[in-house]
Every structure is written in C-alpha cells, then in structure tokens.
Amino acid sequence: MPFTIAIDGPAASGKGTIARALAQRFGFLHLDTGLLYRAVGALGGDPVAAARELTPEDLLRPGLRSAEAGQAASQVAAIPEVRAVLVDFQRRFAAQEPGAVLDGRDIGTVICPGAQLKLYVVAEDETRAARRAAELGTDPAAMLAQLRERDARDAARATAPLRAAPDAVVLDTTALTIDEAVARAVALVEERLST
C-alpha cells in the first residue's frame, strides 16, 4: 500500500506549504483538496452537478486562491452530497504509487483514516490572518473576521467537520519559520518510513 500523509488544519496554518514540501522531498504526489471545493464553488450553479462534472482542468482555473473562492469552498463543502461525490476522487488519488500527500480539512478523519502519518497543522488566529492578508494583499483585520467565520462554519458542519484525528500529530506553526515547520514534518515522515 502506498505511503499516505494526511494533513489537516484551518486556513493559513501552513498545511499547504508543508504538504507541497513533503511531496517534493519524498517524491510523492500532492493534492490540495481545498482546490476541489474551490473549483466547485467557482463553477457556480448546482454545486452537486458541478462536483460530478469536475475535471482536472477545473483545478487550474485562475482565482481559486482568492478569499472569495475560499468562502465559496467553505459553503459548498458543507453540502453532504458534494462531499460524497468528491470523496472517491480523493481516495483514488491517495492510493497512487509511490505515495501521496493530501491536505484539507477531513483527510485524516474521513478521506484517509488509515494514513501512515496524520498531521494537524494549527497557528494562532492573528498569525493566520496576517499570513493570508500578506498573501492576498488585503486588510489583516478583515481577513481575521473571514477566517474566524470560516473556521466556525467548517467546525460546525454536520458532515466531516474540521477536527484533528485522534492519532494526528499536532504541529503549531505560530512561532515557526517555513523551514522549521517543514523540518519538523520531514522528521515525522522519516520516523514513520523507518518503522
């Protein structure tokens, strides 16, 4: 069975950066599962139909990293039928050789509960807001309000709420540089690969 790394956590905690670095370091495939939901939200119309018709090219659409796309993603991700359609896509991706890194909100709890390594990446709200505001060139205070609203919606949804898997390793990136956070994650992967 291919080695699978499941990385979950709230927006702007650093999970995507860590996931990309791990995939590159170990030669694994990478899927930012949030892009699936962002693309469904950006397609508009009936979200369930959009999820069924989603193509890999849809994940390349411009604007999927915007704050608006993130809010749309959080809204369509709360629809159980949308989640059900996208679960199979994600599980097939995770089963590919030589291994895969998936990052999102429910990878360790729903998509890949048998992953060999589960990380739950967190950071303080103000730190996350400052990071995302710098990335998007927006106001940190407005971004803080958006992130908190999204966190509340993601944690409260009935289907696959945002939460750490019981066996996830929590990695707090608040006071870490990117290199330090990646180094800690690399050490955890190397430890699991050696057992």
Residue 10 annotated in ligand binding: yes
Any binding-site annotation on 12?
yes
Does 141 count as an annotated binding residue? no
Query: What are the residues whose beta carbons fall under 8 Å from the beta carbon of 9, sequence distance 6 or more?
Result: 15, 105, 119, 120, 121, 122, 162
Decide: helix, strand or coil at residue 96: coil
DSSP H/E element including 46: none
Judge whether 13 is annotated as a binding position: yes
Q: Answer whether 9's CB lies under 8 Å from 34's CB.
A: no
Contact 8, 41 (CB under 8 A): no
118 annotated as ligand-binding: no
Query: 34 labelled as ligand-binding?
Result: no
The answer to whether the annotation marks 17 as part of a ligand binding site is yes
Q: Are 94 and 116 in contact (CB under 8 A)?
A: no
104 is an annotated ligand-binding site residue: no
Q: Pick out the residues of the known binding site.
A: 9-17
Q: Pick out the residues of the known binding site for ATP.
A: 9-17
